[in-house]
């Protein structure tokens, strides 16, 4: 073994330690954000709680389906208290998203339809298109491609502009 091998091992060791520290730091940052949003939600008015718990639900997409569903249900709890149409539309959409996470596309579709109904009452074209788009994705999960395509066409005709739903929720994270 030469000096080159020792050097390669040291570099590899430092790379692995660095990678582990970065991963740990990202996990700590994630949990710190979650804790901050939960604390913020605890002292917020109910309408804001709906948005904060929806944001928390989204944060757990791809990480923990059960946590995503738990926070979506909390969003719904506060939306029902407010009886506010916008809050209800957000909470039902959040539940739909969480049911996709737990691989229950039929339940997701039911919630997206209810969300769409509230958004129609509000004349929220972007929200309606979002609900339709979400339903189409759920139909794709069920291998019901003709239904999904039909919904995609409906959504695009309703709201042809590009829209990223998460952008609306990025501002909630700025509150922390």
Return d(Cα 144, Cα 166) in angstroms, integer: 26
Return d(Cα 55, Cα 46) in angstroms, integer: 14
Return d(Cα 171, Cα 167) in angstroms, integer: 7
pLDDT under 70: residue ranges of the chain: 1-28, 159-176
Q: Check: pTM over 0.85? Answer yes or no.
A: no
pLDDT tens figures, 80-110: 999 999 999 999 999 999 999 999 999 999 9
Task: Give the pLDDT of residue 170.
Answer: 45
pLDDT tens figures, 65-82: 999 999 999 999 999 999
Q: How far is CA 140 from CA 70, 108, 109, 145, 152, in A?
A: 24, 12, 11, 6, 11
Task: Give the pLDDT of residue 32.
Answer: 87
**Percentages of the chain per state (helix, strand, coil), in multiples of 5:** 85, 0, 15
- Do residues 138 and 109 lie in contact, with contact meaning Cβ atoms separated by under 8 Å? yes
Task: Give the pLDDT of residue 30.
Answer: 85
């Amino acid at each position: 073994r030469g000096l080159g091998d020792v050097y390669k091992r040291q570099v590899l060791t430092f790379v692995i330690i660095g990678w582990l520290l970065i991963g740990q730091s990202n996990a700590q940052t994630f949990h710190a954000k979650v804790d901050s949003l939960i604390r913020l939600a605890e002292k917020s008015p109910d309408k804001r709680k709906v948005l904060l718990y929806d944001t928390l639900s989204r944060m757990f997409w791809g990480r923990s389906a059960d946590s995503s569903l738990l926070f979506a249900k909390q969003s719904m709890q506060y939306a029902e208290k407010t009886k506010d149409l916008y809050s209800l539309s957000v909470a039902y959409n959040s539940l739909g998203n969480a049911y996709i996470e737990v691989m229950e596309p039929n339940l997701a579709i039911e919630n997206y339809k209810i969300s769409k109904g509230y958004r129609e009452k509000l004349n929220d074209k972007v929200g309606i298109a979002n609900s339709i788009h979400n339903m189409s994705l759920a139909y794709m999960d069920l291998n019901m491609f003709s239904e999904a395509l039909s919904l995609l066409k409906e959504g695009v005709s309703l709201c042809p502009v590009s829209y990223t739903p998460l952008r609306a929720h990025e501002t909630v994270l700025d509150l922390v």
